[in-house]
Structure 1
Amino acid sequence: MLMNTVDIEEVYQDLNKTFNAALERTPTRYQDVANVLDTSSITEDQVFMPDLPNWREWRGDKYIHSLFLLSQDRYSLTCEPYEVTIGVKRRDLQADRLEIIRKKIEGLGELAAAFPDERVADAVNASFTAPCWDDRPFFDTEHPILKKNGARSTFSNMGTVALSAASQEDAIASLGAGLTALGTMKNRSGRPVKIRKIKLVVPVALEDIALVLANHRCLNDGTANPYKNRITLEIWPELTNDRAWFLFGESLGLKPFVLLQRKKPTFVKVTNPKDSYVVKKGQFLFGLEADAVAGYTLPQLAFASTGED
């Protein structure tokens, strides 16, 4: 096979089709826990209410829920560029080794699909130390809250108990305590946040315990499991803390994480046979480029335990 401009364009169209097919069939999960926002800016202030409003009796003037109560409540996210590039030797294409090359491009499609999952997982991995909009770590025992009457208070969305399915007592002290904490979250008016679609998210190391809690009729000691079918379970291999476990929910269309996308994963190429790189190296380039970051919304929408106790 000669490698002129027409030939390589036909090859690219073939590989692009392979890439898109892999991208579309690869399952993703980020959309379940993150609101996705597109942006043209490198750094952007996240504009969302620092509270989840609720109904009030309409007497006199309407109460306006401001996007930000205080100037220091502003929370900025900075997108970061990412890339992955593979080289395909011209002589391999000339030798009609296209099927092998398709497998590499198929892998790029799967990587592109997984990119948002990985960025959200980055935010989860940093969530015990990275600040959210109130300048406290997203999971913290002392999140400040300014009540409607002007009084200042705090709330916690973090525990330390290890996830356990050993007995009812252990299950209630771990998963049960987390569900209770999440279910009793209040907005600044003191009303329930009403979180729904709760997911238990764990690393691979906690998969066996989590499967019992989420799906089994009985716990490890033979007693009835009060949490069977009450939650959706997700195993995230990207999680780096083998003991920490998480509960994520949503309310009024808001999810606990935000994915800011300046550039979605894009299939790129250097395939002009006359390009200086191609002439010098004897290979074409195919790859991915993306520009994004994940961060946090309201801490009332999530609970986590370090699993240390």
Structure 2
Amino acid sequence: MIINHGTLNALFTGFKTIFNKAFEGTPSDWEKLAMIVPSSTSQEVYAWLGATTGFREWLGDRVIQALKSHKFTIVNRTFENTVGVPREAIEDDQLGVYNPMVANLGYDTQTFPDLLIFGLLKDGFTGLCYDGQPFFDADHPVYDPETKKEVSVSNVQAGSEAPWFLLDVSRPVKPIIFQQRRKFDFVSMTDKKDRNVFMQKEYVYGVDGRCEAGYGLWQMAHGSKAPLNTTNYKAARAALMSMKGDNGNPLGIRPTLLVCGPGNEGNGLEVLKAERDANGATNVYRDTAELLVTPWLA
């Protein structure tokens, strides 16, 4: 193959087609538990996290509800994934060998948010959220209007087993935030004046973008390292559905998604899909949530 502007453009178009096909054909689960928040600067401040409001009968003037500002900040990072194709491979028309590598770039790009989001979920027992506590913690401070003091609220079950998570993902606001500053884009460096071409006889193709993931509302998630069974699932559901805001009103949390790793798949199926429990009684928790078994928690 003669290397010129036309053949390089055609090569880029072919590689990008392969990249896009792999990207669009790759399954991804992160959007089930995370909300996309567009970003327009190097970082975003989520002052609204933890703010709770409530309706009251309108008597006299409006009462402006003073919301506590937590100033939780998520700082964007830049990520890249790059491959090189030797000049000789193009000259000798051996590009078919590199097509799978370009396709894998598409796979990696589609699943990269999964890596971030589920990694964040797995680290939630130590990773801090907007109130300064670990996302899954026994001591989240919540104001109690009856005692006029802060009380500790838990969204965690202690244990030493593989972690599993029960989430409310039915609302526009979800437990995890995926902050997107710049979408990932397929680019190349193939000009003969580019250093990689001139010095190393290599044509470079890659993907880069800017984003970050962070914790949203801990009240919408329950993390457990206790055994995944009906008893602990029942307790997690009760804890989530009992969540209240600083005004003392129920938050209306409805657990809709049970997330676990491959090691807990059988337990998750028993809890949510079996017709009968271990004692032979009717499984009253069947289909009370969707089961998501993800390899990103392996």
Calculate the TM-score normalised by the size of structure 2. 0.71
Whether 1:56 and 2:56 are equivalent positions in the alignment is yes
Deviation digits for residues 76-104 of structure 1 (CA, Å, limit 9, x no counterpart): 11222222211112222223233332221
* Residue identity matched to 1:56: R
Look up the SS of the partner of 1:238 in the other structure. helix
- Counterparts in 2 of 1:1-309, with a 5 A limit? 1-66=1-66, 68-70=67-69, 73-148=70-145, 150-160=148-158, 162-165=226-229, 171-172=230-231, 174-196=232-254, 198-239=256-297
Deviation digits for residues 38-96 of structure 1 (CA, Å, limit 9, x no counterpart): 22332321232413433222222323345x514xx221112222222111122222232
Distance 1:90 1:159 in 2: 57
Asked if 1 retains the 8 angstrom alpha-carbon contact of 2:51 and 2:68, the reply is no
Distance 1:198 1:29, change over 3 A: same
CA positional deviation for 1:25:
2.3
Deviates more, 1:79-88 or 1:55-64: 55-64
* Residue identity matched to 1:210: G
Distance 1:49 1:43, change over 3 A: closer
Distance 1:164 1:130, change over 3 A: closer
Distance 1:79 1:64 in 2: 33
In the other structure, the counterpart of 2:170 is none
Look up the SS of the partner of 1:179 in the other structure. helix
Look up the SS of the partner of 1:82 in the other structure. strand
Distance 1:45 1:197 in 2: 27
Distance 1:88 1:222, change over 3 A: farther
Distance 2:145 2:92 in 1: 72
Distance 1:21 1:197 in 2: 35
Look up the SS of the partner of 1:219 in the other structure. coil
Asked if 1 retains the 8 angstrom alpha-carbon contact of 2:115 and 2:296, the reply is yes
Asked if 2 retains the 8 angstrom alpha-carbon contact of 1:216 and 1:225, the reply is yes
Deviates more, 1:4-13 or 1:17-26: 17-26
Distance 2:270 2:157 in 1: 21
Aligned length: 231
Deviation digits for residues 185-237 of structure 1 (CA, Å, limit 9, x no counterpart): 11112211112362111111111111111111123443322211111111122
Deviates more, 1:102-111 or 1:34-43: 34-43
Asked if 1 retains the 8 angstrom alpha-carbon contact of 2:240 and 2:255, the reply is no
Asked if 1 retains the 8 angstrom alpha-carbon contact of 2:49 and 2:130, the reply is no
Gapped runs of 5+ residues in structure 1? 166-170, 241-309
Gapped runs of 5+ residues in structure 2? 160-225
Asked if 2 retains the 8 angstrom alpha-carbon contact of 1:49 and 1:65, the reply is no
Look up the SS of the partner of 1:21 in the other structure. helix
Look up the SS of the partner of 2:125 in the other structure. coil
Calculate the TM-score normalised by the size of structure 1. 0.69
Distance 1:89 1:152, change over 3 A: same
In the other structure, the counterpart of 1:283 is none
Asked if 1 retains the 8 angstrom alpha-carbon contact of 2:143 and 2:247, the reply is no
Distance 1:16 1:22 in 2: 10
* Residue identity matched to 2:76: C
Asked if 2 retains the 8 angstrom alpha-carbon contact of 1:217 and 1:224, the reply is yes
Name the % identity. 26
The one of the two structures with greater contact order (alpha-carbon pairs below 8 A, sep at least 6) is 1
CA positional deviation for 1:111:
0.9
Asked if 1 retains the 8 angstrom alpha-carbon contact of 2:52 and 2:247, the reply is no
* Residue identity matched to 1:175: Y
